[in-house]
Every structure is written in structure tokens, then in C-alpha cells.
Amino acid sequence: MVKNGAPAIFKLLANNLRWNILGHLTHSDMRVQELSALLHQPQNLVSYHLHKLHEHGLIVEHRSIADGREVYYGVNWGQIRNEFKTTETELHPGLVADPGAARSFFPYRVLFLCTHNSARSQMAEGFLRDKSHHQIQALSAGTDPLPVHPNAIQVMAEHQIDIHGQQSKGLEAFLSQQFDYVITVCDLARESCPTFPGNPVQIHWSIADPVSPSGASENHLQTFRATAAELEERVDYFLFGIRPAGKADP
């Protein structure tokens, strides 16, 4: 039986500007000035609605590691999923989709970029390759490459994904290649991302670098696990957001 009154999330997102802000953030993490330009709205108005979304836990903030004065906003996927699951089951249990259902994908080419290509981009590459059952060609590179971090290898092994054979690569090797998507997983890489041929879709995920010289090794490993969990969630939603093979554009 449907309860009286619309769920709070529907009331919050009934505002068109908030809905459009959230829609843009499901595609890429952005700064307030970027959202303002995309939506053709005053920056103070966009900031107000970002505050409302953040207040209700639907978005998260990440201060840029490249310029501490800048703040990136991104979707809190877990909170939104829980909110919508509640409304789905309340309206009708049959609306809850099976995320484990087998799907086929076009052979997209996706490049993940970060600074050192030692952790975040390597893990993202492994997740996308595995979750697309190798149908998508996942690659990664760094603006200042370093060897793949052993903690990244260990944490991905905990997910039954073997990345020990992946090599760190410089961005220069890919500048002339065409990709369908270029995904930056580092603020530094995003803010210095070059132009690629073929006009690929560019997406940014503002994810903190798990590689830190300080702290106990176990805490360091926990940081890698948290980063892997965030990347896995991001990759899952990325796959749900792209057109699968055999399905025409709407």
C-alpha cells in the first residue's frame, strides 16, 4: 500500500534546477562555476541549491588537491540509491532492478587518467575491464607515472581482480589515440587534461589519492580499500549509464 504523501526526496528534487544540477553531477564531478555556466544560472543561486542537496546527503564535497580554494561536488550514490530503493519498494516491489543481470556492451575504448597511474586509475581500469567482461577496452595513464603501488594490487586481488600485470604508462603514449570516454580520477589530471582526437566524452571523478607516505601500513591499506570501494561504485554506475550493445538511442 502506497503511503500518504510524496517521499521527501521527490519534494526536494521537484525543483527543476536542483534536478538538473543532480543530473549533471551523475555524469561528472563539477565545481560551482562549471555548473553555473552549464545551467546558465547565477553562481550564488547554484550554490544555494548545492547547499540544499548537500544538506540532505544527496551530494558530497571534495576540496581540490590541485587548488585548495576549489571544491568539487559529486553524487552520493549510496544515499541516492537507498532513497530511491525505498520509494521503489513502497510503490511496487517489481520496480527494483536486478543489478546482476547479464548485459552486453559495445566495444568502447575508455581511458582513465590520474597523476601517477599507480593506484586510482589502475584500479579503475581493472574494475571496468572485469565488470564489462572484457567487452570494453579499459586503459589508464598518468601525467607523471610511477610504478603500480603494491597496495593497489593487493586490494584488487581481494576483489578477485588481478592487476599485477598492468604497467604504469605516461599520458604521451595516448595523445594521438581515439577514445569514447576519457575519465579523470584525479583533480590534478583533470585540471591539466589535454584534448584528445575524436571528441571523446570527458568525465571527472574527484577521488582522493590513497597513496600517502604517512600512517601505519594497515591504515594505509584501509585507505586503498575505501578508494577501491568508491571506484567500484563509480564504475558500476558508469556502466548503467552508457548504451549497451543492441539498444538503440532513444
Query: Catalytic residue numbers?
Result: 114, 186, 193
CA 48 – CA 136 distance, rounded (Å): 39
Residue closest to 120 by CA, chosen among 239, 234, 238, 1 = 234
DSSP per-residue codes, 147-207 = PPPHHHHHHHHHTT---TT----BGGGGTTS--SEEEE-SHHHHTT----TT--EEEE---
- Relative to beta strand 181-184, strand 71-75 is unpaired
Nearest Cα residue to 123 out of 186, 174, 213 = 186
Q: Which amino acid would we find at residue 240? A: F
Give the integer Cα–Cα distance in Å for 144 and 171. 8
**CA 228 and chain centroid, separation:** 12
Backbone angles phi, psi at 219, to 5 degrees: -65, -35
Q: Which residue has the cell 546558465?
A: 40
